[in-house]
A and B are shown apart, each in its own frame.
Chain A
């Protein structure tokens, strides 16, 4: 694959302070996804080019039906492209079978979901250790790393609590700890604040800010401008294509949802 086909935002590398030569976390070129249901074909993605470098904090925005969920599934290796190329941390996803995809998700992606998706019968640290379990890490090390990850999100004193004994914000922080524990290349958050009140939303977003400051790559899918503006870069998706891609500050300038200025001419 050649990187020339990939749209690279000029601020991307400098913003994160990562060397321009490092492998991008996400390289998506000509991404198309067609769903077929009987004789009806629906094209959810119609040629998406996207490059996200290490250390970036990107929000993907779009109304429902825009293809943003499909994009998230593709980026999360939960679904594969019909045509086009997708490289995650240098791995060509199109060539992988189901088992390798599972391994790739396990090692390179930390998911944070809107509904938290914690297992209700397991304690906080048991939930956090799950990715390490499928990696075959020894139990003692798993406990240590899970505890450290929970410590990191400020829940060091809630290791043995079950999700039901935690508030919504705390549950989502457990989910973030679970996303962090495997040291993935990418943290992929799907509407992480969709089920939270304003206080918990701020709580979780502050956590993302901190993680970004530490150099983590974060991709956040949302439809709330307040959430998107916390990211450094905002990608707008509409009708299966990228409509705009620019710095989050553009949101402030415009307050408009249709920002057509490609390649971030604002800065």
Chain B
């Protein structure tokens, strides 16, 4: 009996019990769709996080107050410490002290309410220096960015993110208009270009003022010289580790700390942030995929169950086929083929469903799902293998039936 005939006989037998076959396939189908979705969700989240981190700029080192509590990059005391100062930032910008640092942008940020007449909009207000656009890789859509003079004069000039401008003025064309923060009027001198493809809205919903103005007018208080973050841009990709060393050593010196373990600040690179985030999500993905794989196993047991029922139910057919001259190999092959068809169709339909869900779900979940082709073809292959493996026992049982007993069974 040729393979073509074995296939058509198997297909025929499956069609003869379409409802039962459908329910069997469902088990595999759900498992495969779940594997594809969880792998896709994991990859998608990793991609989102990486995109978010790289959208900060390129070749960046991020200095934050507080010390590292573990080598994995978990920061302690972030936001609570005020150990970084404007002086630190100025020192890092020095060509002699840190030759591999191209530019430095200190940030002092706070959440504030911006007013335009009756319109209110709460956003993150960032106080920084003119080098911010270079360091954070931002460009202006209209107007100009803050200048050194703005800082020196503590000018009440402000640059808005495109979304913030739209929220306050109904359009991004806001240059020359006035916003009020804490009863102080600011003149809009520029509007930032949209940060583009990042899924995060934060980049476009912001307002930038001179650092000095931020310290004196908006935040006030005693910590006028402290900053929340210092962004350090290395000269090039190859200089990142040199820039890291220089930043670390310079700040240790300035803070009078001899042992690097006692540092009251943390320098992290984008790579470190990405790999930390990635490893967290990878663990999560592996865990979820494991659960999905379990449901595949259950699906496989379903296939075996149905094939065993099928062997029992078709004992007479098997006996007849043997009496008519079917060798044990032909019987075994027939049942294996049926089990494989069940597995494979579950795999293909499940993969289709998974891909479809990956297209629809991101709109609902607000998280991207990356359909990985290796995962799709891998799971289809696994589904086929499940059909084969769980089909072996029923097939061997069918092939072993003695024709006389099989013929006599009721």
A interface residue numbers (CB < 8 A to B): 73, 76, 78-79, 98-99, 102-103, 105-107, 111, 113, 117, 119, 121-122, 130-131, 133-136, 178
Contacts and interface: CB of A to CB of B under 8 A. Distances in A.
15 contacts: A79-B404, A98-B327, A105-B324, A105-B325, A106-B325, A113-B320, A113-B407, A117-B320, A117-B323, A121-B16, A122-B12, A130-B324, A133-B1, A134-B1, A136-B1
Interface string B1-30: 110010000001100100000000000000
B325 to A, nearest CB: 2
A103 B319 CA distance: 15
Interface string B392-410: 0000000000011001000
A245 to B, nearest CB: 25
Contact of A134 (B319, B324, B407): B324
Contacts of A76: 323
A134 B2 contact: no
A103 to B, nearest CB: 6
Contacts of A102: 322, 325-328
Interface string B325-336: 111111000000
Contacts of B325: 102-103, 105-107, 131, 134-135
Interface of B: 1-2, 5, 12-13, 16, 316-317, 319-330, 403-404, 407
B404 A133 contact: no
Contacts of B324: 105-106, 111, 130-131, 134, 178
Contacts of B323: 76, 78, 105, 111, 117
Contacts, number: 58
Given A133-B1, A136-B2, A103 B320 contact: no
Contacts of A79: 404
A157 B205 CA distance: 81
A105 B403 CA distance: 11
A233 B316 CA distance: 31
Contacts of A130: 321, 324
Given A105-B323, A106-B324, 15 more contacts: A73-B404, A78-B407, A99-B327, A103-B325, A105-B325, A111-B323, A117-B319, A119-B317, A119-B320, A121-B16, A131-B324, A131-B325, A134-B1, A135-B325, A136-B2
Contacts of A113: 320, 407
Contacts of B329: 99
B407 A133 contact: no
A133 B322 CA distance: 12
A121 B314 CA distance: 12
A102 B403 CA distance: 10
A221 B356 CA distance: 62
Nearest to B331: A102
Contacts of A131: 324-325
A105 to B, nearest CB: 5
